[in-house]
Chain A
C-alpha cells in the first residue's frame, strides 16, 4: 500500500508550481521572499520527482496512475506518472533548481523593476507547472491547454526583457506558436471526431480499429500534429522564431526556454505519436521518415547557421535548433535503442544548454560584451563560469564521460539498428560542427587576452547554479544508469514492448 501523500504526488508536482506562481505577483514588494519561494518550490519539486522515480523503480517501471477527482477513465481525466513522465519530471527538477538559483543574481537588471521581476517569477513557475503537466498528462485536450499555458508563459518570459527587441521577438514567437497550437488543436479535433475519445489510451485503441474508414482525416490529424509541434519545438525549417526569442529573453528565460520548454513540446509530440497513433500508423504514413529527414536537416542547417553567428546567445540558440534535430532523429528510428538514446539526449541537452545559456548570460553581464570575438581572456578572469561553459561544451560535443556522449552512443546504436547509416554519419558530423562553433569560444576565452579588464565570476547563488549543473553533466556522463534505465523503459513503453 502506498501512503496517502505519495498517492497524490503525480498531481501535486503539477499543481504546486502553478498555485505558487499565481500568488507571486501579489508579493512583488518582497522580492527576496519571492526569490526564496521559487527556490523552495523547485526544491520541493525535485524531492517529489525523485520520490516518484524511487516509487517507479520499486514497481519495476509499471506506471503510477492518478484519477483526477476520483473519476475513472474515460469519463474522468486520468494522469499517469509513467517512465517517460518521470524522466521528464526529473529533468525539469534538475534543471529548474539551478535556473532558479541563478535568478537570485542580476535578474532585475535585465528585467527592470520589482513588479516586473515578480511577474517574471510567476511566469517561470507557470511554465514549470505546465511542463510538469505535459510530463504526466494522458489526455489530448489537457495537452492543448498545457501547451497553451506553456506558450503564453514562455512568450511572457521573452518579453520580460527590457530591450524592445524582446517584445518584437516575443510577438513573432507568440504568433507562430499560436499557429502551432491551432494546428495541434485542429489535429486533436480530427482525432476526437474519428475516435470519440480524448484519453490517449482509449483514443489509441479506437483509432487502431477505425482509422481505415477515414484515412484522410487521420492523415490530416497526423500531419497537423507534426507541423504544430514542429513549430513549437523549432523543428527545422519551422525554427524561424527561435533564434530571436531564445537570444532576446533574459538569461534565465533563455535557459529555461532552450533547456526545457522545447523539450516539453517534444515529449508531447512523442506521447501522441507513439501512444495515440502508434508505430504501425506512423510507419503507414511514413512519419518516421519525415522525422528522420527533419532531424538530419536540422542538425546540418542548425550547425551551419550557428557557425555563422558572432553573437554568443544567438550562436547558442541556433545550436538548439541543431540539437533538437538529434532528438527528432531518434524519434524517427522507431526502435528502443534509438528512442532511449533520444530521450537520454533530451535530458542531457536540457542540462547542457541551460548551462551554456546561464554561463553565457553571466559572461555577458559581467563583461558587457555580447560577441564571441570580443570575449578574449574571459577564461582566466571568470574561471568558474567559463569552467562550467567548458564542461557543457565538451558535453555537447560528446566527449566520453560527459552526458552527451551516452546519448550519442545510444542514438548511434539506434541508427545502426534501423539501418540508417546516413543518420549515423550526420550524428557524427554534428559533433564536429558542434566543436567548430563552440571551441573557438573556449580558445578565445583561455588562450587570448584582453588586458586591463577586471571581470569577475558572479555571486554565490549563481556559482552554485553553475557547479550544480556541471556536476550533473559529469554525473550523468559517468553514471548514466538510473536515467538511462528510465529512458530505456520509457522507450519500451512507447513501442509497447513488454
Chain B
C-alpha cells in the first residue's frame, strides 16, 4: 500500500491531471449552462495537456536545443504534440461558441434545459 501511495506522490502531476480531468467531465455532465459546459471541456483538455507535458519534463533538464553540454534535456515531443492539441482545443471552443451564439439568437437563452423547454413548448403550438 505504501508503495502505491509513494508512486502516487512521485507522480503527482499525473494525479493532478487525472483529478482535473474528472472535474472537467463533471462540469460537462452536470451543468446546464452551455458556456459552463464549454468551460468544462477546456478544463478537461487542459488536464490532458498537463499530463503530456509532465511526461516529457525532466526536473532541471535543459532546453532541447543542440549544444555541446551533455546535460539531460526535456523531451520536446510531448510539447510539440500539445501545440497541436491546443490548436484542436481552440477550434472546438470556437465552433462551440458559434453554435452557442446561434442557439442564443434562436432561443434567447444559453441554458440547455430552457432551450429544451422552449423547443417542446414550440412544438405544442
Q: Are A and B in contact, CB atoms below 8 Å, in the complex? A: yes
Contact at B21–A145, with CB atoms within 8 Å?
A: no
Other-chain contact of A155, B25, B88, B95 (Cβ < 8 Å)? B95
**Most chain B CB atoms below 10 A, which of A141, A148, A168, A174:** A168
Contact at B103–A189, with CB atoms within 8 Å?
A: no
Cα–Cα distance between A95 and B67 once the two chains are bound (Å): 53
Cα–Cα distance between A80 and B73 once the two chains are bound (Å): 32
Contact at A174–B95, with CB atoms within 8 Å?
A: yes
Q: A152-B92, A182-B24 are in contact. Are A171 and B103 (CB under 8 A)?
A: yes
B119: which A residues are within 8 A, CB to CB? 165, 168
Contact at A179–B25, with CB atoms within 8 Å?
A: yes
CB of B6 within 8 A of chain A?
no
Cα–Cα distance between A185 and B18 once the two chains are bound (Å): 12
Cα–Cα distance between A172 and B28 once the two chains are bound (Å): 10
A400: which B residues are within 8 A, CB to CB? none
Contact at A185–B96, with CB atoms within 8 Å?
A: no
CB of A167 within 8 A of chain B?
yes
Q: A171-B100, A186-B21 are in contact. Are A179 and B81 (CB under 8 A)?
A: no
Q: Which of B27-74 contact A (CB under 8 A)?
A: 28, 34, 37-38, 41, 44-45, 47-48, 51-52, 55
A169, closest chain B residue (CB)? B99
A148: which B residues are within 8 A, CB to CB? 88, 91-92
CB of A21 within 8 A of chain B?
no
Cα–Cα distance between A128 and B21 once the two chains are bound (Å): 30
Q: Which of A154-211 contact B (CB under 8 A)?
A: 155-156, 159, 164-165, 167-168, 170-172, 174-175, 178-179, 181-182, 185-186, 189, 192-193, 198
Q: A174-B92, A182-B24, A189-B48 are in contact. Are A167 and B41 (CB under 8 A)?
A: no
Other-chain contact of A178, B18, B41, B47, B103 (Cβ < 8 Å)? B41
Q: Which of B81-95 contact A (CB under 8 A)?
A: 81, 84-85, 88, 91-92, 95
Contact at B41–A156, with CB atoms within 8 Å?
A: no
B91: which A residues are within 8 A, CB to CB? 148, 152
Q: Interface majority SS on B: helix, strand, loop or mixed? A: helix
CB of B117 within 8 A of chain A?
no
B44, closest chain A residue (CB)? A182
Contact at A156–B95, with CB atoms within 8 Å?
A: yes
Contact at A167–B28, with CB atoms within 8 Å?
A: no
A172, closest chain B residue (CB)? B112
Cα–Cα distance between A178 and B24 once the two chains are bound (Å): 11
- In angstroms, how far is the closest chain A Cβ from the Cβ of B73? 15
- In angstroms, how far is the closest chain B Cβ from the Cβ of A234? 17
Q: A178-B92, A192-B52, A192-B78 are in contact. Are A167 and B14 (CB under 8 A)?
A: no
Q: A152-B95, A182-B24, A182-B25 given; name 19 further pairs at CB < 8 Å.
A: A141-B84, A145-B88, A152-B91, A152-B92, A167-B99, A167-B102, A167-B103, A171-B103, A174-B99, A175-B37, A179-B25, A181-B88, A182-B41, A182-B44, A182-B48, A186-B48, A192-B78, A193-B14, A193-B51
Which residues on B are within 8 Å of A, measured CB to CB? 14, 18, 21, 24-25, 28, 34, 37-38, 41, 44-45, 47-48, 51-52, 55, 77-78, 81, 84-85, 88, 91-92, 95-96, 99-100, 102-103, 106-107, 112, 115, 119
Can you identify 6 A-B contacts, CB atoms within 8 angstroms? A145-B88, A155-B99, A164-B103, A170-B99, A179-B28, A185-B85
